[in-house]
Amino acid sequence: MHGILPLWKEKGYTSHDCVSKARGMLKTRKIGHTGTLDPDVEGVLPLCVGKATKIVPFLTDTEKVYEAVITLGSSTETEDASGDVVDQKPVVDEIPASEIQSVLKSFIGEITQVPPMYSAVKVKGKRLYQYAREGIEVDRPERKVTIKTIELLDRPFPVKDERQSVPIRVVCSKGTYIRTLCVDIGRELGFPAHMSALIRTQTGAIRKKDCLTFEQVQHYVDLERQEELLLPLSKGLEHMSSFQVSEQDKQAILHGQVLPKPKEVTAPEFSVICNHEVIAMYQVHPTKPNKIKPIRVF
């Protein structure tokens, strides 16, 4: 089996849990996921099966789309609803949508984030969440991420129990911490805040409507039609440039040969397609700009 399983991850599973469960259901060890989702988060989690595992880095490096809820009035140690409250400031009067929209617009573009202590980022060979569980605060490396769009999904909820919740939709680059974004937006609005809900609705070209739950996957497995579940490799690479080759040139590509750079190639990395099938990933040669060389061959 080779292809992309467009899984809809349900709450309660880690991304690793999903990989383990899919391995058992599809009876193959060669499966990799394309971007971690916390257990409390649901959403699009493409799993690469068989030779599709070779495109994991390229699919991980895509834009993501999220729907989140920011709750203003309290912040937590984990920046989401699972953590203990560490700061509070009551929201007495409802914040107007116009004011929220103005703040949201200020986050569009390249921004700097500091990863939360409860995250998998490594510092000195140790995960940040391991330090956090030991009560140790460490300096965290800043990272640049890009917010392509951010908007209100609906009108902000009315104030309730001195809290106000704000539903947002975010299109962003890989590596963006939506929890941290929610906290930073709250700070700009003058309140401690945390992320109270999160759904990932898209990874690259794979959307919610393309996805299947484990229950649906099991149905296909029971019918011995599991291969029908898999999307082609090309679906996971739609965000990248591609170059078409003939059957005559196919063997040279499959043997990983360094080739003259075609005039049509303008991107630094691209997929190579023959008869509608992705057969390799190539790049412009780093030291010979008039040549192309393989990154992955399928």
Q: Is residue 112 part of a domain?
A: yes
**Parent domain of 223:** 3-62+204-233
pLDDT in tens, 64-108: 999 999 999 999 999 999 989 999 999 999 999 999 999 999 999
Q: Let me know whether 172 and 96 are in one domain.
A: yes
198 lies in some domain: no
Q: Is 213 in the same domain as 283? A: no
Does residue 208 share a domain with residue 164?
no
The question of whether 38 is a catalytic residue gets the answer yes
pLDDT on residue 215: 96
Give the active site residue among 38, 61, 161, 222.
38
Contact assessment for residue 99 and residue 189, using Cβ atoms and an 8 Å cutoff: yes
184 & 85 share domain: yes
Q: What is the pLDDT of residues 267-295, one digit of tens each?
A: 999 999 999 899 999 999 999 999 999 99
Query: Within a 10 A sphere around the Cβ of 12, how many other Cβ atoms?
Result: 9
The CATH number of whichever domain residue 82 belongs to comes to 3.30.2350.10
Whether 136 is in a domain gets the answer yes
What is the number of structural domains in the chain? Answer: 3
- CA 217, CA 223: separation in Å to the nearest integer? 10
Q: Is residue 58 part of a domain?
A: yes
**Within this chain, do residues 223 and 273 fall inside the same structural domain, yes or no?**
no
Residue 284 lies in a domain: yes
Q: Of 1, 40, 38, nearest to 16 (Cα)?
A: 38
Does residue 93 share a domain with residue 54?
Answer: no
Q: What is the pLDDT of residue 290?
A: 94
Counting Cα atoms < 13 Å in the Cβ hemisphere of 49 gives 27
